[in-house]
Chain A
Amino acid sequence: MMSATELSQVRDIYLPQKATVTEIYSMTETEKFFRFHLEEGEAFDYMPGQFMEVSVPGFGEAPISISSSPTRVDKTTFEMVIRKAGNVTTALHALVPGEPVGLRGPYGTHFPVEDAMKGKDVVFVCGGIGLVPVRSAIHYVLDNRDQYGEVTILSGTRSPEDRLFTEELYEWKTRSDITFLETVDKADARWGGTVGVITTLLKRIQINPANTVVIVCGPPIMYKFVLLELRKLNVDNSQIYVSLERHMRCAVGKCGHCQINGLYACQKGAVFNYADIVDVKEAI
């Protein structure tokens, strides 16, 4: 039994730390880029693929993927791309630099940049805002480029207007040490590139399946088609990592909202090894 004083020493898993918006700009009609800086307290150690709970006091809290890599910013700075969709994200979109938010985290599993991916060829498959968390892993890999084999980035969006991080996309496209392919579901008059869903790109690449780790992140509908294509490419399930979106309301494995059958996505995910969830019926 704990006394009242002892209890008050226990860390409150729901308590956010104060942070400030240091940069904000529009990337598309519905997405804004944010940079947050932790005011005080501990820096958060995080890895690519993890997420944070972002609070706007008075509006609530939302789980948001970290888009920056610990290789590029210090551990008190977090970059995120947030789609304006619900209460909290709408309030986030209304913020200006200098305004406060709360941050809690980081939560969840991460892309295996330090283990399974090391020394392997890596294929990133990103659909839409799936690029947001994957960008963190891409930066991580590019910043330690010699520790990985071939690097391939496949990115698809609904239309050219939905493309995120366009300057970075251009940089990746022009780099000679990686392969970058992108597509849009629906082109406009200026689009000179590939048109078609993301699987179109998977049909174009050649990989050595035994030596390749594939990272998949996108809208729910995308997974089953991409996974089917990866099977055709003979990639073993254990070489595939998927990041699954669910509503991580509490992020500490209590509230129940993010459950995928018996798995709390906020604890066992959001990044899962596909072999571990291939038989989990609600997963894909």
Chain B
Amino acid sequence: MNIKRVTEKEFAAWVDALTPKHTLYAPQAKEDRFAFDRLTAGEDLRLDYDVSILPPKKYFLPQKEVLIKFDRKGNFESVIAHEPFVLFGVHPYDFVAMDQLNTIFEQDNYDVHYMARKEAATVVVSDVQVASADVFAGCMGNATVEDRDGYDVLLTRLDDGSYVVETRSEKGEVLTGLLSSAVDADEVTLQQREQVWNRTREQLQKHKLEMTPEQIPALLDKSYDHPLWAEKAELCHSCGSCNLVCPTCYCFTVEDELNWDMETGQRYRQWDGCMLTGFATVTGNHNFRDKKEARYRHRYYRKGKYVWDMIGEIACVGCGRCISACTTNIANPVEVFNQLSEEQQ
């Protein structure tokens, strides 16, 4: 729609102008790391974050979310979120993950709870300024998202501290309209942005995938009985940390809770994880995935094949959070896929 070049000063003033007018969620320092949280003062914004502890998908699929209110007389009523908000500063790989979830929750049984949040959101993507220790989005084709649709504004910081602000939708224009005094990006600016993108794609490869992402499903097709699953899983504590930090994990459980009056209550969903011991257990205590290696393998098949079969995308975007989160150092998808590939040859 339009692309502006905004000086560092103008950019800060813009964020300051946005915070009182909109509900903004943005990356901020949290002790020595970063987290998405409500932004109330522009100075707290940290677009130089390397990676957030939890992915911003938590605003579309909250850790705990009420779906339904009920009473004991059997009346059920949907609870659907409508408050508009701005997700500000989402990294490209995290946007790709959210875009995948958007498809999954929209297709084959429209999930109105998820979709209401998604529709209420304005998504401002910010290109990565500082690479995290384990990021490999560059190998997964998700270091930048200029070719992808579905977000509203794209921010790219140039070397002189100014920002290229690209408005991609009418929703985005509501935010960037405040920048009308900024200059339009010229050819030189666009070239500079291109250079930043090229550099980012190179830098976000802290682990090197020895194949193209599109080769992963076929690789997994022939790796089901590979000894790697058991070898790696031997060290697994089934703690679910890799699930918890993953931007494409969306499995959940549903529970009821009663209020103090013991008459009314709510049904909520909360995040669950396929690495947790009882995830596939049915009533009567039969666990259909009782071995650690079966759970471990299942997670990689979901990332590299099952979701691919559903939506045609690899459900590992290369954020590297699982690598950092795993306490026994077995959760590196690049290592898993490379090793499977080597030993196939």
Bound-state Cα–Cα, A101 to B255, Å: 15
Q: Is A202 an interface residue (CB 8 A)?
A: no
Chain B 154-191 per-residue mask, 1 if CB under 8 angstroms from chain A, else 0:
00000000000000000100000000000000000000
Chain A 1-43 per-residue mask, 1 if CB under 8 angstroms from chain B, else 0:
1101001101111111111100000000000000000010000
Q: Which A170-227 residues have a C-beta within 8 angstroms of B?
A: 219-220
Q: Is the CB of B111 within 8 A of A57?
A: no
Q: Is A83 an interface residue (CB 8 A)?
A: yes
Report chain B residues within 8 Å CB of A249.
Answer: 252-254
Q: Is the CB of A2 within 8 A of B251?
A: no
Q: Is A255 an interface residue (CB 8 A)?
A: yes
Report chain B residues within 8 Å CB of A102.
Answer: 70, 74, 76
Stretch of A132-140, A145-153, A155-163, A257-265 on the interface side: A257-265
Q: Is the CB of A255 within 8 A of B252?
A: yes
Report chain B residues within 8 Å CB of A60.
Answer: 254-256, 267
Chain B 96-130 per-residue mask, 1 if CB under 8 angstroms from chain A, else 0:
00000000110011111101100110000000000
Q: Is B143 an interface residue (CB 8 A)?
A: no
Report chain A residues within 8 Å CB of B115.
Answer: 2, 7, 10
Report chain A residues within 8 Å CB of B310.
Answer: 262
Report chain A residues within 8 Å CB of B301.
Answer: 261-262
Q: Is the CB of B78 within 8 A of A257?
A: no
Q: Is the CB of A250 within 8 A of B254?
A: yes
Q: Is B265 an interface residue (CB 8 A)?
A: yes
Q: Which of A2, A15, A255 contacts B254 (CB 8 A)?
A: A255
Q: Is the CB of B288 within 8 A of A282?
A: yes
Q: Which of A4, A7, A10, A257 contacts B251 (CB 8 A)?
A: A257
Q: Is the CB of A259 within 8 A of B282?
A: no
Q: Is B9 an interface residue (CB 8 A)?
A: no
Nearest B residue to A219 via CB reads B286
Q: Which B219-269 residues have a C-beta within 8 angstroms of A?
A: 224, 250-258, 265, 267, 269
Report chain A residues within 8 Å CB of B73.
Answer: 57, 100
Interface of A is mostly: loop
Nearest A residue to B171 via CB reads A1
Nearest B residue to A263 via CB reads B306
Q: Is the CB of B280 within 8 A of A57?
A: no
Report chain B residues within 8 Å CB of A59.
Answer: 256
Q: Answer whether A220 and B288 are a contact pair too, CB < 8 Å, given A16-B76, A57-B72.
A: yes
Q: Is A232 an interface residue (CB 8 A)?
A: no
Interface of B is mostly: mixed
Bound-state Cα–Cα, A61 to B72, Å: 14
Bound-state Cα–Cα, A58 to B261, Å: 12
Bound-state Cα–Cα, A59 to B70, Å: 11
Q: Is the CB of A259 within 8 A of B267?
A: no
Bound-state Cα–Cα, A187 to B75, Å: 46
Chain B interface extent, by class: 35 or more
Q: In the complex, what's the smallest C-beta–C-beta distance from A51 to chain B, in angstroms?
A: 13
Bound-state Cα–Cα, A15 to B158, Å: 49
Bound-state Cα–Cα, A115 to B267, Å: 39
Report chain A residues within 8 Å CB of B171.
Answer: 1
Bound-state Cα–Cα, A85 to B101, Å: 34
Q: Is B199 an interface residue (CB 8 A)?
A: no
Report chain B residues within 8 Å CB of A7.
Answer: 80, 82, 112, 115-116, 119
Q: Is B37 an interface residue (CB 8 A)?
A: no
Q: Is the CB of B112 within 8 A of A11?
A: yes
Q: Which of B108, B112, B250, B279 contacts A257 (CB 8 A)?
A: B279
Q: Answer whether A253 and B109 are a contact pair too, CB < 8 Å, given A61-B254, A86-B283, A261-B301.
A: yes
Q: Is B305 an interface residue (CB 8 A)?
A: yes
Q: Is the CB of A254 within 8 A of B82?
A: no
Bound-state Cα–Cα, A94 to B277, Å: 30
Report chain A residues within 8 Å CB of B35.
Answer: none
Q: Is the CB of B306 within 8 A of A267?
A: no
Q: Is A256 an interface residue (CB 8 A)?
A: yes
Q: Is B281 an interface residue (CB 8 A)?
A: yes
Chain A 120-142 per-residue mask, 1 if CB under 8 angstroms from chain B, else 0:
00000000000000000000000
Q: Which B293-334 residues have a C-beta within 8 angstroms of A?
A: 294, 298, 301-302, 305-306, 309-310
Bound-state Cα–Cα, A83 to B257, Å: 23
Q: Is B133 an interface residue (CB 8 A)?
A: no
Nearest A residue to B274 via CB reads A256
Q: Is A52 an interface residue (CB 8 A)?
A: no
Q: Is A154 an interface residue (CB 8 A)?
A: no
List 12 interface pairs A-B (beta carbons < 8 Å), by A numbering: A11-B112, A13-B111, A13-B112, A18-B76, A55-B70, A60-B254, A249-B252, A253-B108, A254-B250, A255-B254, A261-B298, A281-B224
In the A-B complex, the 5 residue pairs with the smallest Cβ-Cβ separation, listed nearest first, are A100-B74, A256-B251, A262-B306, A252-B109, A12-B78
Name A residues whose Cβ lies closer than 8 Å to a Cβ of B: 1-2, 4, 7-8, 10-20, 39, 55, 57-62, 83, 85-86, 89, 100-102, 219-220, 245-247, 249-250, 252-257, 259-262, 267, 281-282
